[in-house]
Structure 1
Amino acid sequence: MSDDPSNLEFQPRAKGSVMGFPAHEGRPGALGEVHARPHPLIEKPRVLVQLAFMTEGGSGVDHAVLSELSRRLGIAAPDRQARHHAMKWGKGSLRWERHTEFSTYLWEGPLSESGRSHEDTPFGNGFSPPGTVISGIRLEIRKWTPTSERLIAAFDPTSLCYSLVERGNAAIVTDFRQDGDGMTRILVLDRGLTPARTGALSQRLIDIETYRTLAMLGLPLALTLSGRARRIEDRLAQTTLEMKVAETRDSQTLLADLTELAAELEADAASSLYRFGASRAYD
């Protein structure tokens, strides 16, 4: 081997190493994860329809749905261990992703220049949902014209959200309401974004709406536990008062009451741990 420093740059590196040092066995997966969800390149006008399903039945149900969709297209089904998969569907494409407690099916297709959609989504007759729907989004991307601006009037003015992004090159419009199909509508008016920036913006908007809904799953539980916590506090205050002012009850009875309150509190904390943890993660 030559000692010439100029040759160092061309020395072969050992497989699974970094600058000659052994690499951690989990490094390839960690590095590859950042590329697992590449932004799509989206040409306008375009429509994106995403449904997010809670996968109470496990990943096997998801795989069965994907296998049926693949069979209808005459293509191979994804591997059972796959966490994401894409396929052509009609004039657009379908992308599936599996998460911890839910999965998403995102169809992207064309809008005509007149603004009418040529939807051929997989969500029609013959589609078997893998679980209950937690989020449904219809996102339209249109050129920013006087005609497309008039579409804003269809949104509820009492909850209208209108935001300029990308240095004023795009506007995002939604009212967080659901249409007749139960879909949350989002309109993007574009006056010059590249396909890459359009794809990145669309994916970000869909993620925000999906995770916003998932994060709110903890609210009903929080309201229920709030009432229970108040009742426990009242009972604890009463028990403490009895311990101070008079010996109207024997110590064993008071200890039993305190133990019961502690058990109730611990049970509520344990039952809410996952849901509240998930809400924090989705936030």
Structure 2
Amino acid sequence: MNQSSSQLAFHPLRDQLYNELHSRPFQVLPCPAQVTHIALLTTDEQRAAQFRHLQELHERLGVPAPEQEVSCFEDNFGTLRVRREIHMEFTAYTFINLGAPDHHQPFRETGISPLPDGWLEGLQGTVVAAFHLDLQNTANGPATDLAKVRPYFEGLRLVGSNPQDGKARVWGSFRLHSDQFGRFMVLNHSLSDSQLGRLTQRLMEIETYRLMSLLALPLARQITPALNEMDQQMAVITQTLADNHDIDEQQILAELTNIAARIEAFRAHSTFRFSATRAYHQLVLTRLDELREDELSGHLTITEFMTRRLTPAVKTCESVSDRLEDLSRRVDRASDMMRTRVELAIQSQNQQLLTSMDRRSKIQLMMQHTVEGFSVVAISYYLVGLIKLALDALYDSGVSFDKSLVTGLSIPVVLLLVFLGVRAVHHRFIRMARHQ
């Protein structure tokens, strides 16, 4: 008996997770075809404007416009196919022209040729990658001889290989041409439409991710002189801490704070770009492995070209990123040393202050004992005066005695009693202080 799953608690993202693997399907491309790929850095506002611009394209070509934006959108306009993919920081457009004749001259017709006039110029965003791919059957395409292929690339030096175990041949210059677009030529020997679509997709991703990974290189070159300067400053500060015992801690702390602030500013400005470079570079390497290239005699393969030119640039960015982290750690260690010196100096000052306070306390105690002696005499003097007044009153009332003798005898008694009283109060305060 079939058990119903209606009572199971499904994760709210379950459908989205299933659909993620199918969100960017490979193209199925017939041959011949002309493909143009454009990748644009976009903000959220520009991305929204791009979607409205895409709706305008549908309206101008008389096709129902999409109502909701999706991460990967594809639509056909007769012999024109348009695909739009939204990535983390860029949007990619792929225009496929399926209407060119079999015996056309490469790159005379491109993927953007069927677009309405002025539509492409209104596309918002900053173009990073823009290149044409001309897909042709070997039987109908130009000869594979380099001398006959090179004129289609305006005489530039070419990189060529036989990907997919030799089932196709790819030519490219990885340079901009007179129309400000790059160019690739794919000569199909025996690939099916789906295989050709996957090969084309990998070539587009390799070129796009290559350029995206290189966005960090100018930033790395810009940061490097400042890093060299801060590195020298740190070397001087560290040597000063090692050699000099009498230093201006406040000045050194100010220099360390300034260096730390500059490093954090550089890190805030570059961390995302350097991390993205590593991610894009890894994607390029993965796509290169998927090409399964065979070497074309006398020419660099795409993999050889990339590993020779792209990898050093990426390593430069990684080196600058590592230097930023290393400088940050060195500043932290130097700051720790400075804080230790300051704490030791403060402890020494506190010890001197306590010693000084102890001496002052002893002096105050001696002064207190002296004052106590004076206070005993003063209190006794006033008490003897009161006793004398009392004796005068008693004598005047008719009691006969020697006033001078009694007054004289009362003096030592009063002094003794006052002294004992003051000492008792003094010891009481000492006991209270000990208990606290």
Q: Same fold (TM over 0.5)?
A: yes
Structure-1 residue corresponding to 2:149: 152
1:71 and 2:64 are equivalent in the alignment? no
Change (3 A) 1:242 1:182: same
Spell out, residue by residue over 1:70-121, the C-alpha distance to the aligned partner (whole angstroms, 9 max, x if none).
2212333334442222222352211111112111111111332213455533
Change (3 A) 1:214 1:13: farther
Change (3 A) 1:23 1:163: farther
2:37, 2:92 within 8 Å by CA — same for their partners in 1? yes
2:154, 2:177 within 8 Å by CA — same for their partners in 1? no
**Matched residue SS, 1:178:** coil
Picking from 126, 139, 156, the partner of 1:132 is 126
Change (3 A) 1:81 1:42: closer
1:89 and 2:77 are equivalent in the alignment? yes
Aligned-pair distance for 1:276?
1.2
Structure-1 residue corresponding to 2:49: 61
Aligned-pair distance for 1:156?
7.2
1:45, 1:141 within 8 Å by CA — same for their partners in 2? yes
Picking from 167, 173, 176, the partner of 1:175 is 173
Alignment of 1:237-256 (within 5 A): 237-246=235-244, 249-256=247-254
Aligned-pair distance for 1:12?
4.9
1:109 and 2:91 are equivalent in the alignment? no
Change (3 A) 1:268 1:147: closer
**Residue identity (%):** 28
Structure-1 residue corresponding to 2:12: 25
Spell out, residue by residue over 1:17-64, the C-alpha distance to the aligned partner (whole angstroms, 9 max, x if none).
xxx964432222122121112122211111101111111344212112
Aligned-pair distance for 1:202?
0.6
2:168, 2:191 within 8 Å by CA — same for their partners in 1? yes
Between the aligned partners of 2:228 and 2:61, the Cα distance in structure 1 is 56
TM-score by length of 2: 0.58
Between the aligned partners of 1:83 and 1:158, the Cα distance in structure 2 is 36
Q: Name the amino acid aligned to 2:142.
A: T
Aligned-pair distance for 1:248?
6.6
Structure 1: 5+ residue stretches without partners? 1-6
**Matched residue SS, 2:202:** helix
Between the aligned partners of 1:269 and 1:26, the Cα distance in structure 2 is 34
Structure-2 residue corresponding to 1:36: 23
The count of residues paired between Structure 1 and Structure 2 equals 270
Between the aligned partners of 2:135 and 2:211, the Cα distance in structure 1 is 22
Spell out, residue by residue over 1:132-190, the C-alpha distance to the aligned partner (whole angstroms, 9 max, x if none).
21100101111124833244223477742111122211011111111211111111111
Q: Which has the larger radius of gyration?
A: 2
Between the aligned partners of 2:40 and 2:129, the Cα distance in structure 1 is 7
Spell out, residue by residue over 1:223-248, the C-alpha distance to the aligned partner (whole angstroms, 9 max, x if none).
11222211111111112223333357
Structure 2: 5+ residue stretches without partners? 282-436
Change (3 A) 1:261 1:118: closer
Aligned-pair distance for 1:249?
4.3
2:35, 2:134 within 8 Å by CA — same for their partners in 1? yes
Aligned-pair distance for 1:253?
0.9
1:47 and 2:45 are equivalent in the alignment? no
Between the aligned partners of 1:131 and 1:245, the Cα distance in structure 2 is 56
TM-score by length of 1: 0.86
Change (3 A) 1:118 1:90: farther
Between the aligned partners of 1:27 and 1:202, the Cα distance in structure 2 is 31
Between the aligned partners of 2:88 and 2:190, the Cα distance in structure 1 is 37
2:51, 2:69 within 8 Å by CA — same for their partners in 1? no
**Matched residue SS, 1:205:** helix
Structure-2 residue corresponding to 1:3: none
Which moves more between the two structures, 139-148 or 46-55? 139-148
2:40, 2:129 within 8 Å by CA — same for their partners in 1? yes
RMSD: 2.3
Which moves more between the two structures, 31-40 or 54-63? 54-63
Between the aligned partners of 1:197 and 1:25, the Cα distance in structure 2 is 35
Change (3 A) 1:218 1:123: farther
Greater helix percent: which structure? 2
Alignment of 1:188-267 (within 5 A): 188-246=186-244, 249-267=247-265
Structure-2 residue corresponding to 1:4: none
1:54, 1:134 within 8 Å by CA — same for their partners in 2? yes
Which moves more between the two structures, 218-227 or 153-162? 153-162
Which moves more between the two structures, 44-53 or 86-95? 86-95
Greater strand percent: which structure? 1
Q: Name the amino acid aligned to 2:37.
A: Q
Between the aligned partners of 2:246 and 2:155, the Cα distance in structure 1 is 62
Change (3 A) 1:218 1:79: farther
Between the aligned partners of 2:269 and 2:3, the Cα distance in structure 1 is 54
Change (3 A) 1:233 1:24: same
1:47, 1:140 within 8 Å by CA — same for their partners in 2? yes
